[in-house]
Amino acid sequence: MICLDANFLIGGVIEARPESHHLLAWLEAGETFCTPAPAWYEFLCGPVNPAQIRTMRAFLTEGIVAFEEPQALTAARLFNAVQRSRRLRVDAMIAATAIHQKAPLATLNAEDFSLFTAHGLELATPLEF
């Protein structure tokens, strides 16, 4: 299972984007997908249309993962571990959810999310397509 960040959700519904090709390659390799609720929220903020939402929802066979107390505790730990940078608050929530799912995170924002890898986050490596 691979956890998808919002930028992978957005790019995944645009055929010309590499993210859509990565998703298809992973799918063909037998991967399943989920997304953290905070990433789904960012995706829904768009701009996306109803058909794109339905398409991406169909890819999320493992669902939209709720952000609850265990994830909140981990997110706070991550946030505090990376010097409490305000721009990383939602990223910490997304990273915490992926950690709890024991799933690597697919993101285009590897620079920021790499700050969390020392604290348990694994980043997904795209397949060649």
For 27-65, the pLDDT digits (tens) are 999 999 999 999 999 999 989 999 999 999 999 999 999
d(CA 93, CA 109): 14
d(CA 37, CA 17): 23
How many domains does the structure of the chain reveal? 1
Q: Would you say residue 14 lies in a domain?
A: yes
The residue ranges of DSSP E strands in 16-110, in sequence order, are 33-36, 64-65, 105-106
- Residue 81 domain boundaries: 2-119
What's the confidence (pLDDT) of residue 127? 62
Q: Would you say residue 124 lies in a domain?
A: no
